[in-house]
Amino acid sequence: MEKNVALLVLIFFGSLLPIQVLKARSYAGNSNIPFMDIDQINSKDVTVTDSLRIRHIGYHDKTISIDSSGVKLTIGLSAKSKEIEEVRVQTGYQSLRADQLSGSAQVLNESQLNQNVGSNILDRLNHVANAVFFDNQLQASDNQKLNFSIRGLSTINGVRDPLIVLDGFIYEGAIQNIDPNNIESITILKDAAASAIWGTRAGNGVLVIKSKNAKATDGRTNVTLNKSIQFAQKPDLYDVYQMPAEEFIEIEKMLFKNGYYDRNIRRSPFSALTPVVSLLQQHKTGKIDGGLLDQRLTALKNIDSRSDYMDYFMEYPLLDQYALSLSNGTEKNKIHLAVGYTFDKNQYGAKNKKINIDFNDRMMLLPKLHLDIGFKYTNAKNHAGKPAFETFRYRNIRAPYMDLVDADGNGLVLETTYDKIYTDNYLPGKLLSWDYVPFEDYRYVDNRSIRNEYLGQAQLSYKILPFIDLVLAYQIQNQMASDNVRNGLDSYYTRVMINSYASYNEATDRMEYPVPMGDIVLKNNVNIRSYNWRGQINVNKVWDKFELSGIVGAEVRESKTDGESSTLYGYTSDPLNNAAIDFVSDFPIGISYSTSIIPGRPVLNSSINRFVSTYSNWNVEYNKRLGATASVRRDAANIFGVAANDKWSPFWSVGAYLHVPDQWIKGAKADRLKVRASYGVSGNVDLRKTALPVAESTTFNYSPYSGLIIAQLNDPYLRWEKIKTFNVGLDLSFLDGRIRGSIDHYQKRGTDLYGLTGYDYTTWGYQSFITKNVASMDGRGTDLVIETDNIRGKFSWSTIYNLAWNKSKTRTYYAANGMNVSSFLDIGSSITPVPDYPLYGIAGYRSAGLDAKGNPQGFLNGVPSTDYTAIRRQPLDLGENGNIIFKGSSKPQVFGSIINKFSFKNWALAVNASFYGDYYFMKNTTSYTQLFSNGKAYADFEKRWQKQGDESHTVVPALIYPADQLRDSFYRLAESNILRADHIRLEYVRLSYASAIKNRAKLECFANVSNLGLLWVSNKEKIDPLYQDKVKPPLTFTFGTSVKF
């Protein structure tokens, strides 16, 4: 007799998951019956003659036989490695299962973030996150304060930073305030379907950072203690080429002989000269004889300033980090407290101390009512160190023989601004010393900065119905940054300020000091306050075959920035006092025969930005297989539009995904295939740009009243930039999870981008251009993340292949003078918006080598020529049809990393190698114009043409006097100096040991070695493209331990 069996499937940790059951009648031997969801099976479908095979994603299949012993089955499934932990994607507004996404996102958990080391959370992403490019050559600006991008650029003149979201709200503070030891995960939202919910701020991608919180509900207190210490070698100044002192002196002697310095010595006798030029001038005027001149020149030839600086100024960098977290959780209350301390000292001796405190508590007030509160506090103090080597100059010349410290370790005078012989005879006995002694001066300068940040959150959640939650949330953030530089009376800065404005009154036989005696304090304070109110409804409803989840909400946001800067003169701390200063009048600067106002008048600034937003995001799924997503957001801001309707702009996205049925992929050895596609529109806003005129307050000499001056006119119809993104992706798993990952291809189009367009300046007269939404650009690329288990067992080996390919180009752009490929005749460090070309590009003049006299030759009408004026003019008219070659992008279009992980028992080893490809860089070359004026030369100087016949094996021009600036410029921009930049470097090696000890305690120790340098570079000259003529990051060693109990 057959007996009906009711099924209850329980996974080992107690959660009921969507299970697929294959009913295969054992007596028939038929295993081809389709899988059915558990809710499709009822008692009449299963008999005692059946065998059942159960399957769930992330777990191994299990087959059981049915007998007549009972009516209820409890079935335990074993998890597949690497897939046991469910991945949650944090969007900032909601937490989603990864299998619910139609867009592109990457989640990095705590373990992955800890592979890298550093005190900044962004350091943990580098070479680990996919499609995230860190540009170490980028100079921070108002357009881009952070040095990373997600999937390339989406704007030309707008803000290029990705949006940072911390625990559900936009983060306005300094990114270095965030403690990386208290971060649970980072989600990178790449495409519109993933990020459009953030509307106007999402066009450059979104980084969603989630802090740790308590999860356990057993009432036990969990403690985690982390400690790490990082040591580094001193940076090696010898990485950077410096012309030998003997050759530099010979060039100075040649220039002096030819009268190069005469005009400056005659017209500005007070200006500092290099020691060599000063000696030559003293010899010329008969103040020293030839023997003494030769003796002193010989002594200078044996000096290398790099040696003094490394020995007496540089220190060994040190990074010391501590983190302690406590958490306790019950069903009614979950509390988490984390405290972190960081001490960071760099190679200049600058010290940074930071304290982080993070507290959050989730309380069940009623069975359906929860309250979440959170508080973060950061206090960071920075004390500046010694001046950088690059700042030491004789006026504007950096000579290789600077003598900074004598044989006894005493600091020596560096004539950085004024000539010592001149100052010693200017009002002798009446002024303070004019001497600048670098090894002593920094001791008289107290340069400190303090950052304090408070961030508070509160969220009230009420379950209206079993599938509907009402959420009310509020956040307040306040960051105060204070920079104070106290230049003591003995500091060079203060002494020069007092001396420069001082004058001698012959009538009274007294000195007058418009800048009084005392310290000079430069103060700068910035206070950023933001407030965010949010109301949201969460829906999650499950029917027989359908699941609907979504959110509907609205929020109001205000951000206010206040700043002030001032300079205090005649400052004393005991008693506390400073002097009143005349910041309006012009005062004579006696030593330089000029006049100037006293700098440092108080300046105030304030800005306020307000946003109002409504938003909604929905996901509907059928049979755990097929899903569709949609989101819409409408933003308004106070910086746009004169009419209310102009202030609003909608952003939206749609998407779909399909979990490919198992029977379709069985023959492909696939465990899982998910196909997804999305399209949407997100935005970008530059809060410095507005549709309204901008005025500055000022005072007038002809009126006692203050007034406003229109400083900038703007387009009254200015609106948000828009970025449209199409993304198609595939999530995959093969061979029982041995091969898993994702592949995404995307296309972006930026429209309504900010660009300068012509303006009839006769109607105003201040400027002839105005910013309007007139530009556009295109981008496309592919992201690939594949992880393979090469060996499984006690000894395991896995590899992560992380690849990103991106190409971005200008589509339309207005330029009054027209732009073509000749605009790329530069080093490629800035955006050059030429239609149909990459945003970052590089081009060079066609080179015909050197002529018989060592002059560089280009092409003019197809014929070698040294007519540099005509050569320069031709590409302006003919573009690439003229005498230039466009080489390609100056930023990597292919980049990524390969991470190999090895483990044996409790030991694990990770090796990370990064690669950058498909781009070019311009080799630094010596300009004789610059060499003569500021002393700068590069390594190519050693290969210069010196005699007839050298033109057959070198392209470096002969040194000539006088220098020809057009000649120098042509050589610098010649295509022969544009080299391939592709390279591979070893980023880090990490060795760790983890072990479970008694009473639930866990111990992990690790050692990390980073900045290991180049493994391969494509250019034949073996120049490192990332650190060309820069001091390379020193080899760094980090040791750490973590204890959990």
Cβ contacts of 744 within 8 Å, gap of 6 or more: 104, 190, 191, 727, 728, 729, 730, 782, 783, 784
Domain contains 755: no
pLDDT at position 1006 is: 97
Q: In this structure, what are the phi and psi dihedrals at residue 553, rounded to the nearest 5 degrees?
A: -160, 175
pLDDT at 920 over 60: yes
pLDDT at position 2 is: 32
Residue entry with tokens 């030429």: 834
Tokens representing residue 502 in the block? 């001082």
Q: How many domains does the chain have?
A: 4
* Spatial CA neighbour of 235 closest among 349, 140, 127, 324: 349
pLDDT one-digit tens code per residue, 881-897: 778 999 999 999 999 99
The string of DSSP letters for 771-828 reads EEEEEEEEEEEEEEEEEEEEE-SSEEEEEEEEEEEEEEEEEE---TT---GGGG-S-S
Could you tell me if 61 and 102 lie in one domain?
A: no
Contact call for residues 223 and 326 (beta carbons, < 8 A): yes
Contact call for residues 394 and 415 (beta carbons, < 8 A): yes
Peptide bond between residue 962 and the one before it cis (omega within 30 degrees of 0): yes
73 — pLDDT class (breaks 50, 70, 90): low
CA 655 to chain centre: 30
Among 480-484, 504-508, 847-851, the minimum mean pLDDT is found in 504-508
Domain contains 718: no
Instruction: Please give the Cα distance from 225 to 1041 (Å, whole number).
Output: 8
Instruction: Please give the Cα distance from 451 to 124 (Å, whole number).
Output: 22
Q: For 423, how many CA atoms within 13 A lie in the half-sphere containing its CB? A: 21
Cβ contacts of 859 within 8 Å, gap of 6 or more: 845, 846, 848, 865, 871, 883
Tokens representing residue 960 in the block? 């000539």
Domain end position, chosen among 607, 622, 637 = 622
Residue entry with tokens 């992560």: 800
pLDDT at 84 over 50: no
What sign results for the dihedral spanned by CA atoms 633, 639, 645, 646?
A: negative
* Spatial CA neighbour of 662 closest among 15, 5, 21: 21
* Spatial CA neighbour of 608 closest among 529, 534, 663, 551: 529
What sign results for the dihedral spanned by CA atoms 810, 653, 150, 162?
A: positive
Average pLDDT of the chain is 88
Question: Nearest 5 degrees, angle CA 865-CA 968-CA 977?
Answer: 85
* Spatial CA neighbour of 270 closest among 504, 427, 448: 427
Tokens representing residue 613 in the block? 């937003």
Partners of 108 in the β-ladder = 186
Could you tell me if 30 and 131 lie in one domain?
A: no
Domain contains 764: no
Cβ contacts of 69 within 8 Å, gap of 6 or more: none
For the segment 655-659, the average pLDDT, to the nearest whole number, is 95
β-pair type (858-860, 863-865): antiparallel
Domain contains 818: no
pLDDT one-digit tens code per residue, 315-337: 999 999 999 999 999 989 999 99
What sign results for the dihedral spanned by CA atoms 594, 600, 602, 608?
A: positive
Domain contains 48: yes
Domain end position, chosen among 622, 637, 669 = 622
Instruction: Please give the Cα distance from 606 to 126 (Å, whole number).
Output: 35
For the segment 140-165, the average pLDDT, to the nearest whole number, is 90
Residue entry with tokens 């995307």: 746
Could you tell me if 943 and 862 lie in one domain?
A: yes
CATH code: domain of residue 164: 2.170.130.10
Could you tell me if 492 and 585 lie in one domain?
A: yes
760 — pLDDT class (breaks 50, 70, 90): confident
44 — pLDDT class (breaks 50, 70, 90): very low
Domain contains 150: yes
54 — pLDDT class (breaks 50, 70, 90): low
701 — pLDDT class (breaks 50, 70, 90): low
Q: In this structure, what are the phi and psi dihedrals at residue 329, rounded to the nearest 5 degrees?
A: -140, 140
Domain limits at 882?
858-1044
Could you tell me if 496 and 597 lie in one domain?
A: yes
Question: Nearest 5 degrees, angle CA 922-CA 835-CA 868?
Answer: 45
Q: Which amino acid is at 732?
A: L
Instruction: Please give the Cα distance from 272 to 1019 (Å, whole number).
Output: 41
Instruction: Please give the Cα distance from 134 to 124 (Å, whole number).
Output: 12
Q: Is 444 helix (H, G, I), strand (E, B) or coil?
A: helix
The string of DSSP letters for 921-963 reads EEPP---HHHHHHH----GGGGG---STTGGGT--SPPP-SS-
Contact call for residues 717 and 754 (beta carbons, < 8 A): no
Region label for 474, one of left (φ > 0), alpha (ψ between -120 and 50) or beta (otherwise)? beta
Could you tell me if 40 and 106 lie in one domain?
A: no
Is the whole-model pTM more than 0.85? yes
Cβ contacts of 1016 within 8 Å, gap of 6 or more: 983, 984
Could you tell me if 577 and 477 lie in one domain?
A: yes
CA 156 to chain centre: 17
pLDDT at position 82 is: 40
Could you tell me if 41 and 110 lie in one domain?
A: no
pLDDT one-digit tens code per residue, 623-634: 889 999 999 999
Domain contains 829: no
Instruction: Please give the Cα distance from 874 to 859 (Å, whole number).
Output: 10
Residue entry with tokens 């030491």: 392
63 — pLDDT class (breaks 50, 70, 90): low
Could you tell me if 47 and 109 lie in one domain?
A: no
pLDDT at 777 over 70: yes
Contact call for residues 215 and 329 (beta carbons, < 8 A): yes
Domain end position, chosen among 190, 211, 232 = 211
pLDDT at 765 over 90: no
Could you tell me if 933 and 862 lie in one domain?
A: yes
1021 — pLDDT class (breaks 50, 70, 90): very high
pLDDT at position 64 is: 67
pLDDT at 55 over 80: no
Domain contains 332: no
Could you tell me if 10 and 53 lie in one domain?
A: yes
Could you tell me if 26 and 95 lie in one domain?
A: no
The length of the chain, given as a count of residues = 1045
